[in-house]
Each structure stands twice: as structure tokens, then as C-alpha cells.
Amino acid sequence: MSKNVSPAVMKRLMQFQRDEITGSILYQYIAGKQKNEHDKRVLSDIANAEYNHYEVWKEYTGQDVKPRKFKIALFKLISFLLGYTFTIKYMDKAEEAGINGLHSIEKEIPEAKAILADEEEHEAKLMDMLDEERLHYVGAMVLGLNDALVELTGTLAGLTFALASTRLVALSGIITGISATLSMAASNYLAEKADGNANALKSSLYTGVAYVITVVLMVMPYLFLPNSLYIAAFGIMLGVVICIILVFNYYLSIAQGLPFLKRFGEMALISLGVAFISFIIGLVAKRIIGVDLS
């Protein structure tokens, strides 16, 4: 049986109830993926607390509500692709609006204050817990990603207007990209080894993987568009570059709390600046050397 509250608060409580059962399922899922027993216990405790909150709201609404199935599926996918640290911090960021909503009903709902205290305690525990291995290698990923963006953006820009052929540009880009990937990964390994890093090989693998993924994404427009549409391929490639920079910096802004706009602006400016300079060099070199492949 539901308790007497205003219709506006009842609507809000239904949303809280759905969010709590959804959060409980997600935290329990992430807990099940943990190898560290302490982390598993912390996440399981939070999942149980979220379910208890659900039960509190149920006393007011007088009914069960279904979890947000799409959100659960989406966050499971995000957890698989980007790791549990990003997923938990993203969930925490998404819950900020709900926490603000709790403040607005404290006077009418006595339990809201206790639930707010629980949420703050959960956040503190999560921040102490989060220490995902892949985040130790962010520097290696930044090295591979940034080098690939700068080097290959310039290379593809210069070749696009020098060769005027998507097939030739794609071939050149693939050869350059693979060679640069191996070179960068090897250089990173030797540098980390010289610094006494016991995980030098793993660091070099993160660098190489970040590099080769970037290469593949940037060369794809030239592989799929007709040979004569090299300008369109170049435009799409620049769009891909912006998307890569956007996604990666958004990931870092959530997972490590780094400033998004500043880092995004810096990487975009450098990559597009190199592309513009290389574009000019390609045109000048084509005119001076007198290469005409048409």
C-alpha cells in the first residue's frame, strides 16, 4: 500500500525506484566480473544498498517497477569495451541529477536524507576502489593514438592531393601505418625497458594497438570510396580524426577526471594543423616534381 505524497513527488519516486533497481543490477553485474575480492565485496554491498533504496521507494509508490533494460544492456556493452572504471564513473555522473532530486524532496520524504548519505558513502568507496589496470597504460595509449593521428593525418593529406587516387593513398597509408605501428611499439618497449619498467612489453602493446586501430579507421574512407572521390575520402578522414579525438578525450575526462575541452582542442588543433601544412606541401611537391597520375 502506498503512502500519501503529492502527485509530483510520486512521479519522481517512481523514477528513483526504477533507477535504484537498474543500478542494483548493474553494480551486481560489475561485481561478478571482479577478480579482486575487496572490489567485488564493495560493489556487491553497493548493489544491495541500491536494492534496499528500491524497497524504500516501493513503500511510497506501492508497486514494483521494471529496470531500464536498454540502459542495462548499454552499460554492459560499455563495461566490456571501455572497462569498469569508465562505466562506474559514467554511472555516477548520470546519477548526479537524481541526487539533486533527492535534495528537493527531503522535507516531504524523511528517508531521503539517509539515502543521500548512503549515496555519498558509495561514491567515496568507489573512488577509493577504482584502480583498473588499463588506466595504468593511458600514457602508452595516448602516445600511440596521438602519434598515429599527427603522422598519418599529415601523410594522408599530402598523398591525397599528390596522388589524386583513393587506392594509391590507401595503399600508401596502410604501408606507412603498419611500419609506423611496429616502429612505435618497438620504440616504446625499448624506452620503457630502459626506464626499468617490468611491464614494458604490455605498455608497448597498448601503444601498438592504439596506433593500428587509429590507422585502420583513418584509411577506411579511401578503401571504400571510388578511386576518383579522393577529396570526399579526405573530408571523411578528417571527420574520423575529429571523432577519434572526441571519443578518446571524453573517455579520459570520465575515467581520469581530465579536462575535456582543453585536451580535445589541443589534439584537434595539432592534427588538423599538420594536415593543412601537409596538404600545402603535397600540392607544392606535385607541381614542382611534375607528377601527374591522371
Query: What would the pLDDT profile of 192-236 be if each residue is shown by its tens digit?
Result: 788 777 778 888 888 888 888 888 999 999 999 998 898 899 889
Is position 294 within any domain? no
Is position 2 within any domain? no
Domain boundary among the residues 61, 96, 131 is at: 131
Phi, then psi, of 102 in degrees rounded to 5: -65, -40
Q: pLDDT value at position 85?
A: 75
Q: pLDDT value at position 1?
A: 47
Q: Are 189 and 49 found together in one domain? A: no
Q: pLDDT value at position 132?
A: 56
Q: Are 241 and 124 found together in one domain? A: no
Q: 284: domain range?
A: 134-289
Q: In terms of Cα–Cα distance, which of 72, 41, 51, 65 is closest to 118?
A: 51
Q: Are 74 and 155 found together in one domain? A: no
Confidence of residue 163 (pLDDT cuts 50, 70, 90): confident
Distance, CA of 17 to CA of 14 (rounded, Å): 5
Domain boundary among the residues 84, 110, 131 is at: 131
Q: Are 70 and 178 found together in one domain? A: no
Per-residue b or e along 91-107, where b marks 16 or more CB atoms closer than 10 Å to that residue's CB: bbeebeeeeebbeebee
C-alpha cell at 186: 618497438
Q: Are 119 and 143 found together in one domain? A: no
DSSP letter assigned to residue 36: S
Find the mean pLDDT for residues 169-194.
Answer: 85
Is position 1 within any domain? no
Q: Are 105 and 142 found together in one domain? A: no
Find the mean pLDDT for residues 133-146.
Answer: 67
Rg (CA), the chain: 25
Per-residue pLDDT at 42 exceeds 90: no
Distance, CA of 182 to CA of 130 (rounded, Å): 32
Is position 214 within any domain? yes
Q: Are 113 and 140 found together in one domain? A: no
Q: In terms of Cα–Cα distance, which of 149, 157, 153, 172 is closest to 231?
A: 157
Q: Is 290 left (phi over 0), alpha (psi -120 to 50) or beta?
A: left
Distance, CA of 157 to CA of 237 (rounded, Å): 9
Could you tell me which residue, 112 or 292, shows the higher pLDDT? 112
Angle of CA points 91, 24, 124, to nearest 5°: 55
Q: pLDDT value at position 222?
A: 93
Q: Are 253 and 110 found together in one domain? A: no
Per-residue pLDDT at 284 exceeds 80: no
Q: Express as a percent the part of the chain with pLDDT over 70.
A: 82
Distance, CA of 139 to CA of 197 (rounded, Å): 13
Q: Are 147 and 184 found together in one domain? A: yes
Q: Are 205 and 268 found together in one domain? A: yes
Find the mean pLDDT for residues 37-45.
Answer: 83
CB 163 within 8 A of CB 172: yes
CB 266 within 8 A of CB 150: no
Helix (H) or strand (E) holding 220: helix 200-224
Q: Are 143 and 40 found together in one domain? A: no
CB 153 within 8 A of CB 173: no
Domain boundary among the residues 81, 103, 131 is at: 131
Distance, CA of 249 to CA of 115 (rounded, Å): 33
Q: pLDDT value at position 133?
A: 56
Distance, CA of 13 to CA of 185 (rounded, Å): 52
Per-residue pLDDT at 292 exceeds 70: no
Find the mean pLDDT for residues 56-83.
Answer: 84
Q: Are 41 and 163 found together in one domain? A: no
